[in-house]
Amino acid sequence: MTRAQFQYSKKVLKHFRNPHNLGKINDPSGIGEVGNMVCGDVMKLYIKVKNNIITEIKFETYGCAAAIATSSVITDLVKGKTIDEAIKMTNKDVIDSLDGLPPVKIHCSLLSVDALSEAIYDYLFKEKKEIPKEVVSRHQRLIVHSS
Ligand code: FES
- Domain spans of the chain? 3-146
Q: Report the CATH architecture of 3-146.
A: Alpha-Beta Complex (3.90)
Q: 60-113: per-residue pLDDT in tens?
A: 999 999 999 999 999 999 999 999 999 999 999 999 999 999 998 988 889 999
Percent of the chain with pLDDT over 70: 94
Told to judge if 39 belongs to the known catalytic residues of this protein, a careful annotator would answer: yes
Say if CB 32 and CB 112 are below 8 A apart: no
Catalytic residue among 7, 23, 24, 39: 39
Residue nearest atom 3 of ligand 1, based on CA coordinates: 108
CA distance linking residue 84 with residue 75, whole number of Å: 15
Question: Is 134 in contact with 119 (CB distance < 8 Å)?
Answer: no
Q: Convert the pLDDT of each residue in 49-74 to its tens digit.
A: 999 999 999 999 999 999 999 999 99
What is the pTM assigned to this prediction? 0.93
Measured in angstroms, how far is the CA atom of residue 39 from the centroid of ligand 1?
6
DSSP code, position 25: -
